[in-house]
Amino acid sequence: MSPVRNIYLDHSATTPTDPRVVEVMLPYFTQHFGNPVSVHHFGQKAESAIESARERIAHVLNCLPSEIIFTSGASESNNLALRGTLRPGDHRPVLTTHVEHPAVSRTAAELGDVGWLLVNEWGRASLVDIRVRTAARLVSLMYANNEVGSIHDLAGFSEAAHEIGAYLHSDAVQAGGQLSLDVQALGVDMLSLSAHKFYGPKGVGLLYVREGVELHAVQTGGSHERGLRAGTHNTPLIVGMALALELATTESESRIAHLTARRDELISGVLSRIPDVRLTGHPIERLPSHASFVIDGAESNTLLMHLDMQGVAASSGSACKTGNPEPSDVLLAMGYTAAEALTGLRLTVGLSTTQDDIDYAVDVLAHAVEKVRKVRQGVMTI
Task: Name the 3-class secondary structure at 115.
Answer: strand
Burial of 164 (0-12, 13-18, 19+ CB in 10 A): middle
Catalytic residue among 26, 305, 320, 375: 320
Exposure on the CB side of residue 19, measured as CA atoms within 13 A:
0
Is 33 strand, coil or helix? coil
63 is catalytic: no
Whether 294 and 336 have beta carbons less than 8 Å apart is answered as yes
β-strand pairing of 68-71 with 290-295: unpaired
Instruction: Please check whether residue 212 is in contact with residue 175, taking contact to mean a CB–CB distance below 8 angstroms.
Output: no
Closest CA to 10 of 361, 366, 371, 376: 361
Cβ-contact 191, 138 below 8 angstroms: no
CA distances from 24 to 16, 89, 166, 238 (A): 15, 47, 40, 11
Angstrom CA distances, 8 to 94, 109, 257, stand at 37, 34, 19
- Annotated catalytic sites, by residue? 320
